[in-house]
Amino acid sequence: MDLGTVLACILSFLAAAFSSAGGVGGGSLYVPILNIVAGLSLKTATAFSTFMVTGGTLSNVLYTLIVLRGHEKGGHQPLIDYDIAVVSQPCLLLGVSVGVICNVMFPEWLITALFAVFLASATFKTYGTGMKRWRAETAAARRMLEGGSSLGDGAGEALLGQKDGDGHRRQCVDLMVLVTIWLCFFVIHLFIGGEGAKGVFDIEPCGVTYWLITIAQIPVAVAFTACIVHQKRKSHAQNSQEFDQAISVKSKLESLPVYVFPVAALLTGVMSGLFGIGGGLLLNPVLLQIGVPPKTASSTTMFMVLFCASMSMVQFIILGVDGIVTALVYAITCFVASIVGLVVIQGAIRKSGRVSLIVFMVAAILALSVVVIACSGAVRVWVQYTSGQASTQRNAVIMRY
């Protein structure tokens, strides 16, 4: 193991800790680290980053389900909102596929510019959201000192009101639905390839069969989303009829149309595929803007990113990515670092009583990603321009898809 790999592991550990604390995947930081510090090619760095994101999000989700659940809402209210996840996941995966096609069509300089502008805008908006929540927490703390009221933990309620007895059963059903969605899209991507890898069958890129399989993702996503939304509305109506108190405990989310989340997930997926990064960096700020509490937004985002990243990781394993042992070392590093980041941020939240720290962490990661990706992208575009490789590489990418 050379010095560059050791340094890349250290930087990846720090990146994973910060990313996990903020509730984002961290792919936007891993790829430049592997490419610049470890000296890996961009294609290999992208493949390795899927292992790292999967490792980090897996430990984050396990820690949230096993450890944090016992500290929130008396131990019965999970931080992960399964309603948001199951409603949004099909459109998120569909959007990623659409974004990848746009990524192939657009020149790299335009993608880099759009990405920098979008992340800069998201940084300012997320920072503004954090400041609003900070002021609200300050006012709540003042009222607590004056009148003895408690400071909210920022976890929020689930998207749909539910009985405690039904909660576990519904979560298991939602999880099975998510696994089914994962398998459907995984089979499609296994046929046509993607993320820099070829499919398992010799399907001609951009041929009739290729596009038929690609377009098949649209009815699959629409069918899943329609069925899930219908079932959630039906379930919510039954809860409202059976329990009068369900109306009084509704969160702000329940006043929003259910289609808000699929549409937001679709747009987030398109941008993720277009910019070539995981959805966490984009999905978390979107959920915060919609009004999802920071803890719920962070945990739910990591849960959804786990499904996206694991799909790419399994595909790379099946198709035989080079250096899988090294990739697993990076993944284990991120697995451990993710827990460290969660422990630190949760300790800071408990001591300060300010959940807005998560929002500021997201804003900081966004700002850092703007600098890292914009600079590395600009250097890459300049090198391609001066060497005359831009058009050649673009044509090669188009042929791959």
User: What one-character-per-residue DSSP string does 338-371 give?
Assistant: HHHHHHHHHHHHHHH--THHHHHHHHHHHHHHHH
CA-based angle 359:77:363, to the nearest 5? 5
pLDDT, position 115 = 78
What average pLDDT does the segment 369-381 reach?
A: 76
Query: For residue 322, what are its two tokens?
Result: 């080079």
Among 299, 280, 285, 159, which residue's Cα sits nearest to residue 231?
Answer: 159
CB 39, CB 8: distance < 8 Å: no
What average pLDDT does the segment 378-400 reach?
A: 57
pLDDT, position 392 = 46
* Distances from the Cα of 149 to the Cα of 140, 258, 345, 356, angstroms: 8, 32, 24, 19
Residue 193: pLDDT band (50, 70, 90) is low
> For residue 239, is pLDDT > 90?
no
Name the DSSP letter for residue 205: T
Kindly state the percentage of the chain with pLDDT values over 70: 79
> For residue 319, is pLDDT > 60?
yes
CA-based angle 386:391:397, to the nearest 5? 125
* Distances from the Cα of 378 to the Cα of 122, 273, 357, 372, 385, angstroms: 20, 19, 31, 10, 10
Helices (H), 244-318: 245-248, 260-275, 280-290, 294-318
Three-state helix/strand/coil letters over 85-114:
HHHHHHHHHHHHHHHHHHHHHCCHHHHHHH
Averaged pLDDT score across all residues of the chain:
77
Name the DSSP letter for residue 81: -
pLDDT, position 247 = 42
What average pLDDT does the segment 368-388 reach?
A: 76
> For residue 333, is pLDDT > 90?
yes
Among 347, 358, 312, 318, which residue's Cα sits nearest to residue 331?
Answer: 312
The pLDDT tens digits of the residues spanning 46-83 come to 788 889 989 999 999 998 888 876 555 444 456 788 88
The pLDDT tens digits of the residues spanning 148-185 come to 555 555 555 454 445 555 567 778 888 899 999 989 98
CB 51: neighbour CB atoms within 10 A? 26
CA-based angle 368:375:8, to the nearest 5? 65
Bridge partner residues of 332 (DSSP): none
Name the DSSP letter for residue 80: S
CA 98 to CA 96: how far, in whole Å? Answer: 5
CA-based angle 377:383:389, to the nearest 5? 105
CA 69 to CA 76: how far, in whole Å? Answer: 7
Domain boundaries, the chain: 3-400
CA 128 to CA 320: how far, in whole Å? Answer: 45
Query: For residue 175, what are its two tokens?
Result: 């999880």
Q: Supply the pTM of this predicted model.
A: 0.79
The pLDDT tens digits of the residues spanning 83-129 come to 888 988 999 888 888 887 787 788 877 877 887 788 888 888 888 88
CA-based angle 240:244:247, to the nearest 5? 65
232 compared with 389, residue with greater pLDDT: 232
Among 42, 89, 277, 317, which residue's Cα sits nearest to residue 190?
Answer: 317
The pLDDT tens digits of the residues spanning 334-347 come to 999 999 988 888 88
pLDDT, position 274 = 76
CB 338, CB 306: distance < 8 Å: no
Lowest mean pLDDT among 5-19, 242-256, 347-361: 242-256
CB 28, CB 377: distance < 8 Å: no
Which amino acid does the sequence have at 136? Answer: A
